[in-house]
């Protein structure tokens, strides 16, 4: 399947504060003297293609970096079924959008058509058991102050070490009784039922967003924020 890069957006990468490059049709050559920024463009494309993100690449004075590429697909209809099977939003208007962002705090996110990644423990469960876990984002018990702090720091709360929490998977018939038992204890008063186990696609974790769409949750990548005592 052929794909043509049509747009590249770079923010706070190396020396670049904000650059949007719209690429026309035909042969394109990037030229310039040493130090003009050619390597930054190549570096941005490598990040898009999955190269390890190093927080030393973030521009001095900035807290986060992001790169976003838009590709024009010759036949997006051939790719969309696979994307949807992975829990990723399909391409619209024949465009595939890939975005990568990372912060000095250690958060590292990747997006395909606005669908993002998350949560190691759930993925490990899904992979080891050969099932798919489907989670309701609004049911996950996160305190409002935790959400605010994570948004300010650019951290995904499902990627941060968290002591004293557990994920329980049990039969549907036992779920309500187990939840009532947990909530009866002071330490379990915020226990919640956050999802269900489904058959396919095996080894995947999907998140149902407040808008009703699905996005795939993958294993965390890059350097994660360590537990802070």
How does pLDDT run across 18-27, given as a tens digit for each residue? Answer: 989 888 777 7
CATH number at 120-217: 3.90.650.10
Q: How far apart are CA 117 and CA 57, in angstroms?
A: 21
127 CB neighbour count, 10 Å cutoff: 14
Contacts of 218 (CB under 8 A, 6+ apart): 110, 117, 118, 123, 205
What fold characterizes domain 3-112? Rossmann fold (3.40.50)
pLDDT at 128 (0 to 100): 55
Distances (CA, A) of 194 to 32, 141, 146: 53, 8, 18
- The ranges of the chain annotated as CATH 3.40.50.300 are 3-112
pLDDT at 10 (0 to 100): 92
Give strand pairing partners of 98.
Answer: 69, 112
- The ranges of the chain annotated as CATH 3.90.650.10 are 120-217
pLDDT digit string (tens) for 201-219? 777 777 787 777 777 776 6
pLDDT at 114 (0 to 100): 72
Q: Helix or strand or coil: residue 7? A: strand
pLDDT at 1 (0 to 100): 53
pLDDT at 169 (0 to 100): 82
Q: How far apart are CA 70 and CA 114, in angstroms?
A: 12
Q: pLDDT under 50 in the chain at which residues?
A: 117-119, 226-229
Q: How far apart are CA 139 and CA 150, in angstroms?
A: 18
């Amino acid at each position: 399947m052929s794909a043509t890069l049509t747009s590249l957006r770079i923010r706070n990468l190396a020396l670049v504060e904000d650059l949007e490059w719209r690429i026309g049709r035909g042969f394109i050559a990037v030229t310039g003297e040493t130090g003009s920024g050619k390597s930054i463009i190549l570096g941005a494309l490598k990040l898009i293609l999955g190269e390890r993100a190093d927080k030393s690449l973030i521009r001095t004075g900035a807290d986060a970096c992001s790169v976003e590429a838009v590709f024009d697909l010759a036949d997006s209809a051939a790719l969309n079924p696979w994307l949807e099977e992975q829990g990723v939003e399909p391409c619209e208007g024949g465009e595939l959008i890939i975005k990568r962002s990372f912060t000095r705090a250690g958060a590292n996110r990747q997006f395909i058509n606005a669908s993002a990644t998350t949560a190691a423990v759930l993925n490990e469960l899904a992979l080891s058991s050969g099932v798919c876990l489907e989670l309701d984002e609004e049911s996950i018990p996160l305190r409002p102050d935790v959400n605010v702090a994570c948004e300010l720091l650019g951290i995904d709360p499902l990627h941060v070490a968290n002591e004293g929490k557990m994920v329980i998977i049990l039969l549907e018939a036992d779920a309500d009784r187990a939840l009532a038992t947990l909530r009866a204890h002071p330490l379990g008063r915020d226990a919640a039922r956050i999802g269900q186990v489904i058959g396919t696609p095996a080894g995947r974790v999907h998140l149902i967003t407040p808008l009703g769409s699905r996005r795939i949750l993958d294993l965390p990548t890059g350097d994660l924020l360590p537990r802070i005592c």
